[in-house]
A = this chain, B = another copy of it.
Amino acid sequence: MRAIIFLLLLVTSLVFPAFSSTMLVEKQVFTTTAFKTFGGQTIEEVKVGFESYGTLNQDKSNVILITHYFSGNSHAAGKYHESDPLPGYWDTIIGPRKAIDTNKYFVISVDSLVNANVHDKHVITTGPASINPATGKPYGLDFPVVTIRDFVNVQKLVLESLGINRLHAVMGASMGSFQALEWAVAYPEWVGRLIHVIGAGKMDAWTVSALEHWALPIRLDKNWNNGEYYASNPPIDGLTATMLNITQDAMHPDMFKASFPNFEVLDKGALRDIRTQPAVIQTLLSRAKARAQTQDANHVLYLVRASQLFIAGHSNDYQQSLTKLKSPSLILPATKDLLLRPEMAKDLHTALKARNKDSEMAMLEGSWGHLEGVFAIAAHADKISTFLARPLHD
């Protein structure tokens, strides 16, 4: 997977030369105490990382919030060091003179609660792997369930700490689209414009079940031990299977095909012995295991839960919640998305139009599948910059 991403970014850098100029960024920390969750519980201390690109203007009216996807973090653009092999995931559209022009906008992104990448030194998050002040030990499954609304509420506190009370726009892909939409529905006075990429307005039964397949392998791992593994071996095999599941759901078969040009169905090793997995599986598992090293299994379970519970407005009266939205929306589904199928974003677009909301939709074409919205977003760079420049109705 990393090899593929690297290759793609290399190609992208040839097509978009601006990409090669390095924007250096650094992770900052925000701390708050006695955070009340949507579910009514309290987290004594919440600490999250955040990044920003560009400069906050005097009246603090040029803020664009970027909300990140499931396995992502706030590193949306730039590099920490000139020598970093890769920049943040949306570097093709965020930076000086790019679609989200950091000469004009102050772009900010926040590491989510229960972020998966606990062991990535650039990620700062609070979740089940954090120390529970009541016991002096990691929370494990005693950590409260958190929702997309809670992710939004933490971001709101970060923004308020900077004196911000208005967003020029909020934009996110996948689980980031949930947060962006939740912003527009929960805090409509804040949100100027909404850009909703490879997302949905709410979960359906199939998707809730699909997400459960990212949790089941972790729960099956004998090292998981009901979430109490912090003093022993972590459930790395289960987490590896989960990472493989995520890749499976996020990449279209056409991209698998392109990634394995030498794939042979009649795999000699796999034919010889049931204990030998097909070569393509061995490769995928070794990549998945590498990804699993920086992640925490319990955090993944909490991210799954937050995603499963997502419905715009966090009330089962979806239509009523959508009524609250005030911003114009740009909705960008991917044609070949097998996870958050384009029908889901189309349903949102239709529901918004039915309520006389200003909504525009454009498809991301290409072979990535779900990941189209992460790796190939630059296809809609012009549309994004035009949408961001649109004056508002009121």
Question: Which residues on A are within 8 Å of B, measured CB to CB?
Answer: 38-39, 128, 141, 143, 145, 147, 202-210, 212-213, 216-217, 220-222, 227, 237-238, 241, 244-245, 247-248, 251-253, 256-257, 259-260, 263-267, 270-275, 277-278, 280-281, 284, 301-302, 305, 308-311, 314-316, 338, 341, 343
Q: Residues of B contacting A309 with CB < 8 Å?
A: 265-267, 270-271, 278
**Could you name 25 residue pairs across A and B whose Cβ atoms are closer than 8 Å?**
A38-B271, A39-B271, A141-B275, A202-B265, A203-B265, A204-B256, A205-B259, A206-B248, A208-B278, A209-B244, A212-B244, A212-B284, A213-B241, A213-B244, A216-B241, A217-B220, A220-B237, A227-B274, A253-B341, A265-B308, A265-B310, A265-B316, A270-B308, A271-B309, A278-B309
How far, in angstroms, from A263 to B273 measured CA to CA in the complex? 43
Per a CB cutoff under 8 Å, which of B263, B301, B311 touches A266? B311
Sample of 16 more A-B contacts, CB < 8 Å, known A213-B241, A267-B309: A145-B274, A204-B256, A204-B257, A205-B253, A206-B253, A209-B244, A209-B247, A212-B278, A220-B241, A222-B222, A227-B274, A253-B341, A265-B310, A270-B308, A274-B302, A278-B309
Cα A256 to Cα B316 in complex, Å, equals 18
Please tell me if the beta carbons of A257 and B202 are within 8 angstroms of each other in the complex.
no
Collect the chain B residues with CB atoms within 8 Å of residue A251's CB: 206
Contact at A253–B220, with CB atoms within 8 Å? no
A203 to B341, CA, bound (A): 23
> Which residue of B has the minimal Cβ distance to A312?
B265
Please give, as numbers and ranges, the residues of chain B lying within 8 Å of A209 by CB-CB distance: 244, 247-248, 256, 280-281, 284
- Point out the residue from B202, B216, B270 that lies within 8 Å of A305, measured CB to CB: B270
Q: Are B213 and A248 in contact (CB under 8 A)?
A: yes
- Taken together as a complex, chains A and B put the C-alpha atoms of A92 and B237 apart, in Å, by 44
Question: In whole angstroms, how far apart are the Cα atoms of A314 and B270 in the complex?
Answer: 13
- Which residues on B sit within 8 Å (CB–CB) of A338? 338
CB-CB nearest in chain B for A260: B205
Minimum CB distance partner of A276 in chain B: B145
Contact of A220 among B205, B238, B314 (CB under 8 A): B238
